[in-house]
Amino acid sequence: MSKAIVSRAKATNSAIALEDLTGIRERVNQQPRSKAERRRANSWAFYQLRQFLEYKALRAGVALILVPPAYTSQTCHRCLHVHPDPTQSYRSGKQFKCGHCGWEGDADWNGANMIAKLGAVVNQPRGPWLACQLQGYRKPAPYCEAVRAG
């Protein structure tokens, strides 16, 4: 799988954006879960896939960008809106319905598009202004202010 991803990125002169899932097992296992759910969560091979992608992308000269996971699945990829109430979400299981622009669709597809958008802006000359806008991912205030003013 990693070989196919890197080959396609190289052929299309694209970068690869991944959600930085460092520590996901610890976060997921803090919540009350059944033994079967914990076993399923601990069998995820995110880190192994990331390692394979890192060395193959480096060898192929393809950029690999790690995107912070904060709000990627709760932000509308079309209008970049996050539900104003932090205890609420526009995501409901596998469905996503934005209360701001009205876009509806698969929640995972929406999240993947957000990761792609965030990955694209990381390489912008002025820096990742979009990432500064997402709550939960804070660069130091002067950085975001400088990016916004520039």
pLDDT tens, the chain, 150 aa long: 999 999 999 999 888 998 887 766 666 556 666 777 766 666 567 788 889 999 999 999 999 988 888 888 889 999 999 888 888 889 988 999 999 999 999 999 999 999 998 888 765 655 555 555 554 444 444 434 444 444
Q: Spell out the residues 6+ positions from residue 24 whose beta carbon is closer than 8 angstroms to its own.
A: 41, 44, 46, 69
Sheet holding 104-106, edge to edge: 91-92, 95-97, 104-106
